[in-house]
Amino acid sequence: MTAAPAARVRDAALHWLGRNRERFALDADALSPDGRADRSWKPLGELAQVGATLTLRTPPGDPAQGRARELLAFAWQQTHDGALFVRLQRAEPFATYPLEVYSAFAAAGLRHPDYERVAATMARIRGWRCAEQDPTRRLGVLQAERHTGADRGAPLEPILAATWLGGLPEPWSFERSSGYALTHVVFHLTDWGRGGPGTPPAMTAYLHDWLPAWLTTCLEAGMWDLGCELLAVAASLPRPDEALLRESWTRLADAQDPSGALPEQDGLPTSGEADFIHTYHSTLMAAFAAGLTVAPAVRTDASRTLRHPQRARAVRVVHDAQGVSG
């Protein structure tokens, strides 16, 4: 059964994330113009993204849902319940990452009206619309705008067509950078496993044809981080290849450290303060991909889950978890 090794990986990864959640805390430089967003807001946003998905995709009563909502509540507390986004956006008016991080919380029903007003104002400014970004990043920004009421009606199709995956390139041109780009295109189109329009038919067929070869290659090379992202894509497709998933999750379960951590690459250490930066993302992706793999019954209802009645429920669930230790 595919679900058994995937559930073990998910649960162990969530335990590790819970024990190490303080390492995701925002530091004193998080609002500094010289601060490194990739070492503060980026990890916290990724923690929120995974927490939001697993909170909504994991059945009630499953202990994994409780751990996911605790992580989401912790991340929301770090933002002072959204208030820091207002300060961050005013300090960096044309930066899109505050909106991208905030949208993960908004997807789970956690909202800050003042920030959304600031974001909506910025999205109407020409300087915001003309910011130069690669197509995959632009796709993510547009999806974030739609989550937060800042939607300016920009069509997705031309941007999607300009991405690596949207061009349906020769499969042998796949490499590490294009691998991460294609997974994020799918994540944006599926709203990180929570709904969304999904992949167009031609793209879906292309992924069904070539994803198995790419995934197998990455796992054979010990590229656990990218392998987990590709597994999340596999779990997001209609009629996923069960034999491929079962073999892949067995391999990942063998690679996972007894602590629950999963290194980005085979051979990298998973313990020690300095190793967190090379461990947290792959461990998050392990929990994320495994959560999507073991919750197929929820997939068809994911888009409805995000609408109004469940948004209110998501806020209550997260608030109930505040103050609970991981």
What pLDDT does residue 320 have? 46
Residue 184 clears pLDDT 50, i.e. is over it: yes
> For 59-118, what is each residue's pLDDT tens digit?
889 999 999 999 999 999 999 999 999 999 999 999 999 999 999 999 999 999 999 999
> For 200-255, what is each residue's pLDDT tens digit?
999 999 999 999 999 999 999 999 999 999 999 999 998 888 888 999 999 999 99
**For the chain, percent of residues with pLDDT exceeding 90:** 70
Residue 289 clears pLDDT 70, i.e. is over it: yes
Average pLDDT over residues 287-306: 63
What pLDDT does residue 150 have? 82
What pTM value is reported for the model?
Answer: 0.89
Average pLDDT over residues 31-37: 83
Cα distances from 286 to residues 95, 103, 161, 179, in angstroms, run 29, 21, 29, 16
CA atoms within 13 A on the CB side of 324: 16
